[in-house]
Structure formats: structure tokens, C-alpha cells
Structure 1
């Protein structure tokens, strides 16, 4: 009976010690978990090389590890990754997550982009169901590093394939012959230019001389223009002053003439209405008198002065004639 009682006592003590050890382990786990924070990341890319327990870094500093990797049931295009980081890791507004691959095949989750003074990433109270579907804050992602290259690899391969096909279609036998002809023509042109090198050099030299002469001519024209401006400033100004004085005198004379004409206008009107007809009759009478005197002068010249005093004598009549 005593031996059986000792076994029961020992078994009870062992069970009590195991229970205490379990409680201590749970307490330690909770104590350690209280110093870590959990976040979800939804990657819309391949997470090849990433596994449970992979390292999480912040600006290259180890800060946590990957806790869970699974496809997101709401949208299979995304991969949900649960990470835990140290409590002092500055996961703030503006922080993003990327997958950093390596040639060894392992990948890590890299966090970066914390802004000083920004608030930490938390679940909003008004839209927590959509913003935090699994009850922890969500860190936004960005494509970068080897992951971006791997994601764009299919498009790059497709473009390289298209470019290869186009180059293959371009380099046909006919196009090769055309390219060969172009190269031959280029060679002939190069040889012709080489043969005409001295002539081209002489032409360039003449061109330089012509340009220099043009520059000298331009300088002389500039000097002439400056001299002309000086002459205009010295000689033309006095002449313009004299011309202005002459114009003023002519204006005064014109004003005086206008006044004189205005004063003589009544006399001119009387002359045109009364004296002009009398002068016309006088001129008519003078013309008649002039014609008569001309006739008398002509008669005196032909027949003498007696033709004016008496009648003209008839010629003697002789019979038989």
C-alpha cells in the first residue's frame, strides 16, 4: 500500500510540474507576442522564394518574419502574406512592401518608405471590414527589384519575339541586295569625295576669304552709316531750320495775297460785267480799222498815191490788138 501511495504522489507532483511548465510557456509566449505587431500584405505577383519564416526587413534591417502565406479567397490573383515585426519598427503611413529576390532562390519581404511625423498604419474605425479584412492593418505593396523584372519577363519575351520576327522579315534576300547596293554607292561617294578633296579645300578657303571680305564690307558700311549720321546731325539740321523759315515766309505771303485778292474782288467783278464788253467792241473796231489801213497800204504800193485820191485809169485801147 505504501509503494502504491508513493507512485500516486510522484505522479501528482509530475503532473503539477508539467502544468506549471505549460502555463509558464504560454505566459512567455504571450509576453513575447506582446512586443510584436502583425500586418497583412496582399501581393499581386509571384511570391516564389518566399516561405513561412522568411525574413522581414525594414530598410535592410531585420525586423520580423513571415508568419503565413496563402491565396486570398476573395481574389485568387492576390497572395496574402501575414508578417510579424518588432514593436519599434516604424510602419507608418507611406510605408510599402516589396519582395526582394536573390539568385540563391530565397526571398524576403522588404519594408521601406516611412515618413517622419506620419501616423502609424492602423485599421480605420469606419471601414475596418474592407480596409482590414482579417483584423490587422494592411501594408500597401509596390513592384520593385527582381520581382518587377520577373513580372515583366513575359511582356519582354513577347516583345523580343515580335522584334525578332520583324527583323527576320526585314533581312530578306531582296533587302540584303538593296543594302549591299546602298553600301556600294556609299563607298563610291566616299571615294569621289576623297578624290575631290583638294577642290573642296580650295572652295572652303575661298569661302573663308569671301566671308572675311563680307565682314570687312559690313564694318565699312557701319562706319559710313555712322559718318552719314554725323553729317545729317551737323548739316541737315541748319538746312531744315532755314527751310522752316522759308515755309513760314511763303505762308505769310500767301496770306497777304489772299487778302489782296479779297479786296480787289469787287473791282474785278465790275470789270468782268461792264468793261469787258466795251473792250471787246473796241478790239473789233480796231481790227476793222487795221484791215482798212492794210488795204490802203497795199493799193498805194501797187498803184501809187493817186490810186487813193482818184479812180483807177483804164488802159489805152489800141485797134488790132
Structure 2
């Protein structure tokens, strides 16, 4: 910075003058102020002289080679320090925003995604952003969408389509519907068709649930068998299937390692229209934070890894 530049003829202090004034007040001398600002001593002296000339009053009394601040200088210095504290807060905020340690990450998701995949992504995210608070809540579809719309800073991860002018939907990963049953029940089958399921004891969904509507489409060309039990979530369906109640059609995201060990799992041989896509949801009015964007990157990688074995088996 060139401290010998022309200073405006106004009874105000420029940022450069304030910086020099603050340095003199804090160090107590022209020479130390110049050293702290990494400039020549004559430059600091000149800025001080011009500042006092423009203001029309002295900032310092000169006695026996030392500078003593005037009452006016002390009052100005109080305000200068308040201003610098504000600047420091801004600087700290910018730094915390850049390293993800500011704010809060609010996540809502479909219950199936909340079994294993979103928690795994949260664990990996927390390893990078240990200081950032996280709120996580699995919600049914009817409650998830309003939370993204009206909650502050929420991102959602849903398996079902959302059409709303104020919600941005970004598809992440998709997978085919699966059939699950107690271990040993489907051991010899590579896949199941709807007509085969129609001849088995099975677990259905309530008609007003998203999965219930999807399963209804699966059986649009088949007689839909009367179920042993109706449920509202794929998690409940998997638990009942594990206990031997019947066969269930579930989404590809609800199966964790424990379920995989306890169930026979085969793909449902049906149209691609019956594939489910995990999509990111966020408010069009409130863009995502940098921390949220990083979480989405991690979650995307988790979803890709989870679905990779099924894709490989399908390709084979």
C-alpha cells in the first residue's frame, strides 16, 4: 500500500488513515506503527499530519519525543476498535463457511434411505466436518416435501417423484425393485415375475402409500393376490419377510448388510418404469450451502457403491 497517495480534502477519515491511526494508538509511536504496517516511517508521519490537518484538530500531543493521544483520539479509537471487531467477525465467518464449520446440516430422507445409506454418508461427512452440527430425520413422503419447502436449510433425499415449482429435484441413482423372502425360500430363483408372486404368500402395501401405488402398477396386468398382511414401509415388509410371513416387493435402497444375510433377494422382472430413483431435493428459494453440496457428493458415492453389485449381476 502506498501511504504517500493523495488524501481527499474532507473532514472524514479514509480506510488508510484509520489503519495508520489504529497502528499508532496500538504501538504508541510512529516508528513502531510503521514497522507493524511494513512501510517507511516518513509515510506514516505524513499520513498522520495530513489527517490532523483535514480533521481540523490534533489526534496526538507531542511531548519530549513521545505521542500522547488527545481525548478526541481516544473516542475515535473506541469506534475504530468496534469496527475492527466487526471486520474480524466477518473474516471468521468467511473462514468457517469455507471449511464447513459454520451453520448446520439438516437432512430428511425417505425411511428406506434412512436405514443404512444416508447414515453411512453422514458418518463419512462427519469425519470431514466434525464441528458441524447435523440434524437427520427419516420422514414419509407426505411429511418430507413440506420440510424441504418450509424448513430452513433442509435438503431431502427421496425415492419418489416430486413436482413442485419451488423444489429442485436432482436424480442421483436408480435401481430396480427387488423381491425378498426368508432365507432359503428363493434360493433357486434368479428373478421373480409378477405372475409368480401372485401364486405365493406375500406382503403388500397400503394403497395410499407411494410403494403401494408402484406395486399396483406392477400387477396391472395380473390378478393382484390378497396379501397376508399390509404395511406402510419397505422396512416393515423386509422384517416380516425375514420372519417367513411371505414374499415382499421392496425398493433397492432399504437392504442393509444384516437384512442381506437374513433374506433371499432377487430382482423383480418387470418394466424399467418400475425402477426407483433416489433424488436430491432442495428449495429453489434457498440454495444449498457448500457443506450440503459436499454431503451430496458423499451420498452419491455411497449410493453408487451400494447399487454396483446389482448392476454387475444384471449386466452378467
Q: TM-score, normalised by structure 2?
A: 0.21
Which structure has greater helix proportion? Answer: 1
Higher relative contact order (CA 8 A, sep 6+): 2
So what's the TM-score if we normalise by structure 1? 0.21
**Highest Rg: 1 or 2?**
1
Greater share of residues in strand: 2
